Amino acid sequence: MVSPNPSLFFTLLLLSVAVASSSSSQPNATNIGQGYRLISVEEAPDGGLIGLLQVNKKTKIYGPDIPLLRFYAKHETDNRLRVQITDATKPRWEVPYNLLPREQPPPLTQSIGRKSIKNPITVSEYSGSELLLSYTSNPFTFAVKRKSNGETLFDTNSLFSSLVFKDQYLEISTKLPKDASLYGLGENTQPHGIKLYPSDPYTLYTTDISAINLNADLYGSHPVYMDLRNNGDSASAHAVLLLNSNGMDVFYKGTSLTYKVIGGVFDFYFFSGPSPLNVVDQYTSFIGRPAPMPYWAFGFHQCRWGYHNLSVVEDVVENYKKAQIPLDVIWNDDDHMDGHKDFTLNPVNYPRPKLLNFLDRIHKIGMKYIVIIDPGIAVNSSYGVYQRGLANDVFIKYEGEPFLAQVWPGAVNFPDFLNPKTVSWWGDEVRRFHELVPVDGLWIDMNEASNFCSGKCKIPKGKICPSGTGPGWICCLDCKNITKTRWDDPPYKINASGTQVPIGYKTIATSAVHYNGVLEYDAHSLYGFSQSIATHKALQGLQGKRPFILSRSTYVGSGKYAAHWTGDNQGTWENLRYSISTMLNFGIFGVPMVGSDICGFYPQPTEELCNRWIEVGAFYPFSRDHANYYSPRQELYQWESVAQSARNALGIRYKLLPYLYTLSYEAHVSGAPIARPLFFSFPTYTECYGLSTQFLLGSSLMISPVLEQGKIQVKALFPPGSWYSLLDWTSTISSKNGVYVTLDAPLHVVNVHLYQNAILPMQRGGMISKEARTTPFTLIVAFPAGATQGEAKGNLYLDEDEQPEMQLGNGYSTYVDFQATVKQGAVKVWSEVQEGKFALDKGFTIEAISVLGLDGSGVISEVEIDGKPLMSVTNATVSTSQHVHLDGENNGESKIIMVGLTGLNIPVGRNFAMTWKMG
């Protein structure tokens, strides 16, 4: 996402290693080699830069060096610089261009002049609009700088390391300033919060080891970080992506960052920002904008592994209704399947006629139904899905035969989603299943890929596997370890699963083969991503609706196709806290539709914890309660106290659905996260850089939950400005420099505050999103407290939410900009509407406007709507009230005015203007 600029070569990889894991005895960079030297460089035909690098001194540690490298650099947009280093003589593995579309560098056959570099200490520069690439020739190093302020963003010139490039070991390092705050490099559970902490390596390699493992590789691989730096009165952010799907360790030591990668190429992308929102805009412009989500997806979801028959599911839906807790979507884990086999129904426990009758009933009221699908296809001669897969040759191979693994149905083969035939076969199976059961979305799990066995396996003779007794995840195949190849036993051991287990442990053997000879060794971390793409393509063709897919495993670009939940978390207070950090990181990764299992997946949460968890989970972008087969029931109505907390918290959520949906639209068009760290709105306020116990929805709505046992108060940080309590609008907290305030938070209360200068559209709420979205709107206008002049802005996006596209100009959508000003006692609130026909046809109206923070006596006059006296509006009334304004820094209190206008009937789809004067 940066504009083209002829210049620059790239040569990459500075090297990292002096930063070896404290538990690792593997050699560091100074023992590996002396880097490379630049021997030629010239302009590429596409306006980029191409050069040749030659190794200075060959070593055999981790294998022989690749003697000649090609670097390629290009300013692809005004804000994005690419620097790639690869073998100059033969192609190496890269993330497939058909999975993640992007510009292709010139082919390796592109001629490169062999002009020698005479002065080995010469520094050369190639400039773009905002980013500047400089490099030295011997040893070859490169640096990326921001032109506007001269700061260095990435610099491989280091005394302790040099570029290393071997077939199965790549290393490069960058220096960092001490005050840089880094975020990203996931997926992992970070005990210290959202800000990266110098520690053992951040290992990136998709793995099913449960979210309870701290600082270990988990379900997704996102080798990108955001770097935020405070410059006094200003701040700047940028991001660095290493587009590589091989396993890697990333060592962060505070003043340096070192990549150690076991294959592929160095393919760096630099995004200049300079604001956090600019960064995710530029990043998602490159990797793909987040998928449009249907409106109902922002309702509340209920799931459990262990709904043994349809009557239990019907019971759950009925009990939510009785408890008056909102519910939009009911889910099935694999209980609906026949013998855990994908795309099947259990004929006894989920008889199709009864299931179809149930779905007909819930669909009529707007509820939805989603089921799970695992990638492992049961090896079963009477199973049509498997037989059709065999016939189409869709499975990953090992020594010429489908690779044998074990998951829930027993012996399975894994579809190879890099194979176009597999994508077509998968789409056909989704279609067949949808004709059997009209599901509203698909949940793809276990797609790291997870395997209960390791190595080369065969089905045991003379015994049933699985036996039907004992835990289903115990391997019952006859297996032997595979260490005979360099792919199964690479020279450098990443810190897989936090314990340096073999990289093929409990997954597909890394020497297994995909389509066109691609090794699992290279493509492993792309498995869930490729399945998401295939599933999205399959659902897109059904009924012309917007697909909804939930995926456990993710990679760079997954947000374009799927939502994500954070996997098998625990019902503990620690995991409640970790859920916030993980959610915020996925917003940076371009996967804004994210949430954690509310109350924890296992074991049983306490009643108090479940109360507090729904008060957080009601504000996850993706809000779902999900529990383990072996845990007691934990639907929100199981405890009356939790039911009360759910009614309160979800009651707020359902009133905020239009706001959440508008944020989803913003995410789709600009990548802006739905849930955000506070520093997104306050990038110069360093106090919030590491804050992981509060978060924002959009730019202006702050959630400050209780995250500790036994607490009925919460200490919350309020950045500079005025904040209004969403609970009753009667209390306001203001400060000039930011302040911590201790808030009351009884068991059923979660503190939510609206920031100044915002206009928040809300509706009345309801028990289901289809019902809630038909109710009239209220606009909450928040000015700075006591200000005699100020402005506020907000917006609203509405559409026919299951249309495939989420965009303006399609005849099925409306977008409204709301604005307000106050100046010397004169107040104006107005709207500017784009594509108003949809909102007018649907009859959306504004019934009330509340304006907060006004100064004055409370007397208002000359109230007009579109130039006509308010009196002409039937049932319209005006009220004023004083409420408490707390000066958080001086502990002083004052009174400010709230003006309420009710009984209105203003069409959302038509411009309006309301004015009055304060006495």
Question: Distance between CA atoms of 463 and 551, rounded to whole angstroms?
Answer: 34
Q: What are the C-alpha distances in Å from 543 to residues 358, 372, 431?
A: 20, 20, 10
716, 727 Cβ separation under 8 angstroms: no
Question: Do residues 796 and 761 touch, judged by C-beta distance below 8 A?
Answer: yes
Whether the Cβ atoms of residue 681 and residue 753 lie closer than 8 Å to each other: no
Contact between 593 and 567 (Cβ < 8 Å): no
Q: List the helix and strand counts (H, then E) for the chain.
A: 14, 54
Distance CA 494, CA 892 (A): 56
Q: Scanning the structure block, which residue is given the tokens 């190794």?
A: 55
CA angle 477, 478, 480 (to 5 degrees): 125
The CB density around residue 265, as the number of other CB atoms within 10 Å, is 25
Candidates 187, 445, 488, 608; catalytic one:
445
448 catalytically annotated? yes
Q: Which residue has tokens 């306006």?
A: 47
CA distances from 768 to 127, 330, 490, 844 (A): 54, 12, 53, 17
- Give the 3-state secondary structure of residue 175: strand
What residue type is 914 in one-letter code?
A: M
> Which residues have a Cβ under 8 Å from the Cβ of 31 and sit 6 or more positions away?
61
- Maximum separation of any 2 CA atoms in the chain, in Å: 91
- State how far the Cα of 421 lies from the Cα of 393, in Å rounded to an integer: 8
What the block records as the tokens of 789 is 């002049």
CB 440 within 8 A of CB 370: yes
**DSSP secondary structure letter of residue 382:** T
Catalytic residue among 94, 568, 615, 835: 568
| CA distances, 767 to each of 299, 370, 616, 748 (Å) | 9, 19, 19, 19
At 257, list the tokens. Answer: 């960052």
Q: How far apart are CA 14 and CA 33, in angstroms?
A: 12
Structure tokens at 17: 């290693």
Q: CB–CB of 436/355 below 8 Å?
A: no
151-158, long-range: CB < 8 A, 24+ apart: 151/229, 151/231, 151/236, 153/227, 153/238, 153/240, 153/270, 153/272, 154/240, 154/268, 154/270, 155/14, 156/12, 156/13, 156/14, 156/15, 157/14, 158/14, 158/15, 158/256
Count Cα atoms within 13 angstroms, Cβ side, for 842: 23
Of the candidates 730, 718, 791, the residue with the CA atom closest to the CA atom of residue 759: 791
DSSP letters spanning 496-524 = GGGTT--TTTTS--TT-B-GGG-BHHHHG
How far apart are the C-alpha atoms of 644 and 654, rounded to whole Å? Answer: 15
Q: Which tokens sit at 129? A: 């609009």
Q: What gap in Å lies between CA 134 and CA 49, rounded to an integer?
A: 12
How far does Cα 290 stand from its chain's mean position?
9
* 445 in active site: yes
Active site residue 315: no
Reduced to 3 states, what is the DSSP secondary structure of residue 864? strand
Distance between CA 790 and CA 896 in Å, rounded?
14
Which residues are the active-site residues? 445, 448, 568
